[in-house]
Amino acid sequence: MTWLSQNLHIVWGLLADHLLLSVPPILLSLVISVPLGRLAAGSRRWRTPLLTGTGLLYAIPSLPLFIIIPAITGFALRSPATIITALTLYGCALLVRGAADAFASVPEDVRLAAEATGHSRWAMFWRVELPLAGPVLLASLRVVAVSTVSLVTVGAVIGISSLGTLFTDGFQRGIEASILTGIVLTAAVAFALDGLCVLAGRVAMPWRRAVAA
C-alpha cells in the first residue's frame, strides 16, 4: 500500500496511457468490421476469403506483429500507432466474423418487409439491418473490448507504457505491489469498458428491454 501511495501519480499516468491505447483499436475495429462483416454475410464470393483472412490475423503472435507493422507502415517501433494498428487487426480478427454472424441473424421476413415498404439499400442497412444485428454484434464487441485491454499490456515488453509497464517494472525490480496493482487495474479497466458496452447497448437498443419485460 505504501508503494501505491508513493507512486500514485505514475499509476494514474499509466492508466490514462492504457485507456488511450485500448479505446481507439476497439472503435476502429468496430468501424472496419461492420462493413466487412456485412459484405461477408451478404456475398457468397466474399464470405470465405474475408472470414478466413481476418481469422488468420489472430494466429500471428503479438511480438512479431509489433515488429512487422513498423516495417510495413513506417511507424516508429515504440509508437502508440504501432500498438493501435496491431490491436485493431486483432480486434477485426474477432469482430469480422462476429459482424458476419450478426448480419446473418437478421430475420429474412423482416428484411422482406423492409424491402416491400420501399427501403433503399442504404436505408435497409442503417434503419433495419444494423439495429437488428446489434445484439449479436454487441456480444462480439464485448469480447474484443476485454481482449484489447489485456493485449495492450504486451506493448510494455517493447517499451510502450501502459498498465503493463507495472508488470515489466515490477518483475525486473522485484516489486510485488507493482505487479499486483497492474493486474487489478487492468482487470478493472476491462470490466469498466465491458460495462460501458452493455450500457451503450441498452441505450441504442431500447426494444430489447421492453420486449423482455
Note the residues at the interface with other proteins (CB under 8 A). Answer: 107, 109-110, 112-120, 123, 128, 131-132, 205, 207, 210-211
Residue 43: CB minimum distance to other proteins, A: 17
Q: Which is nearer to other proteins, 198 or 204 (CB)?
A: 204
Q: Which is nearer to other proteins, 72 or 211 (CB)?
A: 211
Q: Which is nearer to other proteins, 115 or 176 (CB)?
A: 115
| Cα 6 to chain centroid, rounded | 33
* Element housing 32 (H / E): helix 8-42
CA distance 35 to 54: 13
Q: Which is nearer to other proteins, 56 or 123 (CB)?
A: 123
Q: What is the dihedral of CA 104, 109, 112, 113, to 10 degrees?
A: -130
The C-alpha cell at 20 is 488511450
122-125-130 Cα angle (round to 5): 150
Residue 136: CB minimum distance to other proteins, A: 13
Residue 111: CB minimum distance to other proteins, A: 10
38-43-44 Cα angle (round to 5): 135
Residue 135: CB minimum distance to other proteins, A: 10
